[in-house]
Copies of this chain bind each other. A is one copy, B any other.
Amino acid sequence: MTTVIATEKESNTLREWENDDFIMQQSRLSKASKILNLTNDELAPLKHPKRALTVVVPVKMDDGSTASFVGYRVHYDLALGPGKGGVRFHDKVNLGEVTAMAMLMTWKCALMNLPFGGAHGGIRVDRNKLTKTELERLTRRYTSEIIEMIGPSSDIAGPDLNTDEQVMAWMMDTYSVNKGYTVPSIVTGKPKSIGGSFGLTESAGFGVALSLKRFIKHKQNSKNDTSVIIQGLGQVGSSVASSLATSGFKVIGVSDSMGGLYNAKGIDIIKLANHVKTHQSMKDYKEA
């Protein structure tokens, strides 16, 4: 298999999705393909997305004016199932970045053997400059403009940078109004009250902890040989800490923005977690 699509940056002919993000992901793909001994024929179809829709989204602003924003939805590869990927609102979002993220989603789903392909979307907008009503209208019209690209069997959106439960709820509602009935499976990351999954806040931390356990097993270490230090005790760090502690790991150090804590015999993570819950930080926490 030969391909006539440029894969890494060519001198004079910059093309639409070849920004730094995309080129970096292509380089990583090249490295991985060497480790895997892929032939060029095997590598070629992995180097580019399947389709990319760019839309201009007009929004009525609160002052009565109309502003227009550029939005994207990219399907990188749908071979294993419907595309899965976030929607990002950021003032630097562009086609290359969205395509790079869609490529990453493809590898993530495939490595985990999930029946999903990779997709991604976004809008080039500084969310902080919009009021909530403007944000709602932007989200709804964007959803309306990409509506032929998404669906429970073809492409399922989710939250990403600057998009949250509320944005997902607006996307789901816009899609559902269009169909005439409720379609919860069009987005993940929606509020629990309208069908969102339990455990969303803990899942990233549990994933880190799970990966660590696999890594230790792979290295033929045991958890008794392993002591753990965790940097950061926010949503992810806390979940990592509690997950590992529950599994019997010795956590000897933690830190957050207020300082750090070290105890070679192991920190009482549950006690610490209660303190953090009450005081918002580790400050003034005292071991026994």
Contacts and interface: CB of A to CB of B under 8 A. Distances in A.
A58 B45 contact: yes
Interface residues of A, number: 64
Copies in the complex: 6
Contacts of A52: 53-55
Interface string A130-160: 0001001000000011001001011100000
A54 B178 CA distance: 17
Interface stretch (A59-67, A200-208, A231-239, A267-275): A59-67
Given A66-B1, A67-B1, A148-B148, A54 B154 contact: no
A80 interface: yes
Nearest to A180: B154
Given A50-B56, A94-B16, A82 B181 contact: yes
Given A153-B183, A181-B82, A55 B51 contact: yes
A48 interface: yes
Contact of A56 (B48, B125, B179): B48
A54 B15 CA distance: 12
A78 B181 contact: yes
B13 A94 contact: yes
Interface of A: 1-5, 13-17, 19, 41, 44-45, 48-56, 58, 60-61, 64-70, 75, 78-83, 92, 94-96, 117, 124-125, 133, 136, 144-145, 148, 151, 153-155, 177-183, 194
